[in-house]
Chain A
Amino acid sequence: MAEPAVNNTKQITDEGIVRGASKLTPEKIERVINSVLKAETGARLKTYVDICVHCGLCSEACHFYLSHDNDPRFSPAGKVKQTIWEILNRKGKVDAEFIKRAAEIASTECNLCRRCAMYCPFGIDIAYLLITMRRICHKLGVTPQYIQDTAHSHSATINQMWVKDDEWIDSLMWQEDEARGEIPNLRIPLEKEGAEIYYSVIGPEPKFRAQLIYQAAVIMNASGVDWTMPATPGWDNSDMCMFTGDFEMMARLKKIHFESAARLKVKKIVMGECGHAFRSVYDVGNRALGWKMPPIPVVHSIEFFYELIRDGKIKIAKKYEKPVTFNDPCNMVRGRGLHEMGRFVTNATCEKLIEMHPNREHNYCCSAGGGVINCGPPYKKTRVDGNRIKAEQLFAAKARGAKTIIAPCHNCHGGLEDIVHHYGLDMDIKFLGDIIYETMEKPE
């Protein structure tokens, strides 16, 4: 007798989703869904849904689909079909079980990387459809626990990591102190009104990765730019509320960020190597506030480094020797087209760049972005298994000699680390800032 096929996939239990869903009633679900659809979506959603011809061209754009042997449940259109479409068809009359599954799909099985939008013959922004689903889930109180905790930190402290105000200032003074051991007259200027550049980072930097602030200070100092960092909340440019669908809080965060820069009367904001923060400051958050473009020009580190090297403000003493490959982060490449600048910096600082394929705007997502890595441990397997294709892509680059992956984005770092580890690829991962710091000429 043949054994029946058994589905051994372990069910993930996420407290945030389970407990949130346990409080739902069919009436509440219907009311919330319809209020979001009516008040917030408008023509954009309607157009996207109406013009999709179900051609399936988006499928092969998705790393989840490719990594799951072309399982249609993981295709972008498939994910929309399991979430937003169904809701529209049923006019909001869905049950709590449906919402639980929809929350999981929208928050952990899609990185909002927008690769699929490029393959859609009509240019439908599928990420928008899924983030609308997250928005509904947020309003229903059904959001994965870990990312919700981060969002709580945002609303309580205006930063991602529960960093206290004095802790922030002290971390900067500490890094200044340390860097002065290397460059005696180095400064991290706090609250300098009228500075050219306002440098902002993400919460985890002062909390865990203080070295990145050190490196940035050395680079700023060596290039002789006029810069400052704020001593008040607003210093953290990251934004997990954008990914939980808490758009009110997202707007509040961006408002405080822009206001702290405006108060210092700076010419522009330069931000560290973070992808989602760039999306929030340059694209989504500012628009939620009614600014088509950011009220103060925003420059991502990739572009900033490009300018420094192009203008000869940073000189490279000795190039990085190991062959590198460049991982294009979605938010700066598909979102802003900084891929050639990234390559310019890489070529200026490294001996050899070996491209991975596909690359540039066609690069696969790291599977950590879009808040997925922030949904925490329960979904690590979802994320790593869902990106086998990335491992294959990296392995091919490694086979051609690449030893180090340059990833100018925090989430890419985290995601690639897990992939490199899980699939046993044994490659280093570095930020552009790491490489520049390592290879640059430093002032006496």
Chain B
Amino acid sequence: MFDKILFATTASPTCDAAANVAFDLAGKYNSKFSVFHVLGLPTRGFGHMVQDIRTGEQESSYDEDYIEWVKEELKNTYAEQIKKAKNCILETVSGVPHTEILRKARKDDVDLIVMGAHTREEEIGATRYRSVVGSTMQKVAKSAKCPVLIVSRPCNTCYWYFSNIIFGTDFSRASNSAFMFAYNNAKEIGCRLHLFHALDISSIAAGKIEDQQKIEERIKEARRKMEEMYVSKMKGFDNYSIEIWEGIPYVEILKFAREKSGDLIVMAHHAREIDPEEALLGSTVEQVVLRAACPVASVNRPDKVEME
């Protein structure tokens, strides 16, 4: 399912949950597997000094020895997992983390990026490079061509034993790719696929009251779209359900995932929100990632999720 997996890590405990999932997946699917660590931000003179991502200290001796030393640390951090892994390559570079992760993903043409969510470490980057808005995860999820699996909490079930995949949609173009990913995974694993949409009625908070009839009409419309856009694409797969709730999208998705004991949430993180009406999920993904108990896959592009 995943021939090449890139695990982007800060090598700090915040990435441990992601590490377990990544190593597991690579082992199970016999994938080519890279553990990738961006070890520092180069100084503005772009000389040979970096700010260590983990400690925030200035390292004036950025050279081969330092890289080797960081690699050794990386090896120790994941010693147990590496023992079992077959095709595992460790790599460290200096640079702005999200840029380097995307560069690497593109170079190796990977099928999946696995990473943790927010960490303190990344914030040092954001502070130093002020033009980098938000976190590494956000930037990678936005621009990556392949699915990005974000694991922020320990995941107790093995990926291939998942029993409920939740696909949250806003009916955008990017959501089509997210759907394909969710569908392919559900089919491969043989688990239930929940197609979910949340009507955004947060405008109520601004004093705009929508009547019940109108809301119900919109729910009906959403259900029709589900049938048309997604159900029609599922050939011979009937282990699915459709659910439309109303509320604030990220809250509803989280509630829904909890109710269904979701093992994986799949959503699109839009490269750009063209019309807020159409593309509600951009910021929603971030909210969901921070709060979800299960891993979240963000899929934006069709490149790596075409039907086999």
Interface residues of A (CB under 8 A from B): 146, 149-150, 160-161, 174, 177-178, 181-183, 203-204, 207-211, 368, 373-377, 410-411, 413-415, 417-418, 421, 428-431, 434, 442, 444
Interface residues in chain B, defined as those with a beta carbon under 8 Å from any beta carbon in chain A:
42-49, 58, 60, 95-96, 99, 102-103, 106, 128, 130-132, 142-143, 145, 271-272, 274, 300-301
Mind listing 17 A-B residue pairs with CB under 8 Å? A149-B48, A161-B46, A174-B102, A174-B103, A178-B143, A181-B142, A182-B271, A182-B272, A183-B272, A209-B99, A368-B44, A373-B44, A374-B47, A376-B43, A415-B44, A417-B128, A434-B131
CB neighbours (8 Å) of A418 from chain B are 44
Nearest 6 interchain pairs by C-beta: A414-B44, A181-B271, A376-B47, A373-B45, A182-B272, A146-B47
- Contact check, A377 vs B42: say whether CB atoms are below 8 A apart: no
Closest Cβ–Cβ distance, residue A202 to chain B (whole Å): 10
Q: Which one, B46, B58, B271, B272, contacts A208 given CB within 8 A?
A: B46
> Is A376's CB under 8 angstroms from B48's CB?
yes
User: Is the CB–CB distance between A431 and B49 below 8 Å?
Assistant: no
Q: Do A178 and B102 touch across chains, with their CB atoms under 8 A apart?
A: yes
The chain A residue sitting closest to B271, CB to CB, is A181
Tell which of A182, A203, A374, A429 touches B45, judged by Cβ atoms closer than 8 Å: A374
Q: Are A414 and B45 in contact (CB under 8 A)?
A: yes
CA distance A382 to B43 in the complex (A): 16
Indicate if the CB atoms of A413 and B44 lie closer than 8 Å. Answer: yes
The dominant DSSP class at the B interface is loop
Closest to B274 in A: A444
Given A177-B145, A178-B143, the answer on whether A376 and B128 have CB atoms closer than 8 Å is no
B43 touches A160 (CB 8 A): no
Q: Which residue of A lies closest to B106 (CB)?
A: A174
Number of residue pairs A-B, CB distance < 8 angstroms: 83
> What distance in Å separates the Cβ of A160 from its nearest Cβ neighbour in chain B?
7
Min Cβ gap B305→A in Å is 15
A contact face: mostly helix, strand, loop, or mixed: helix
**CA gap between A299 and B175 in the complex, in Å:** 42
Chain B proximity of A355: nearest CB distance (Å): 21
Nearest residue, chain A, Cβ from B132: A211
Chain A residues near B42: list those with CB within 8 A: 208
B56 smallest CB distance to A (angstroms): 11
Report B-chain residues with C-beta under 8 Å of the C-beta of A181: 142-143, 271-272, 300-301
Residue in B closest to A161 when the chains form the complex, CB atoms: B46
Which residues of B sit under 8 angstroms from A211, Cβ to Cβ? 96, 99, 131-132
Q: Which of B95, B106, B132, B272 contacts A177 (CB 8 A)?
A: B106
A150 to B45, CA, bound (A): 10
Q: What is the chain A residue whose CB lies nearest that of B49? A: A377
Beyond A203-B46, A444-B274, 5 extra complex contacts between A and B, CB < 8 Å:
A149-B48, A183-B272, A208-B42, A414-B44, A430-B131
A146: chain B residues at CB < 8 Å are: 45, 47-48
Give the distance to chain A from B4, nearest Cβ to Cβ, in Å: 17
- Collect the chain A residues with CB atoms within 8 Å of residue B128's CB: 417, 421
Which residue, A183, A375, A377, A434, has most C-beta atoms of chain B within 10 A?
A377
How distant is the Cα of A167 from the Cα of B281 in the complex, in angstroms?
A: 34
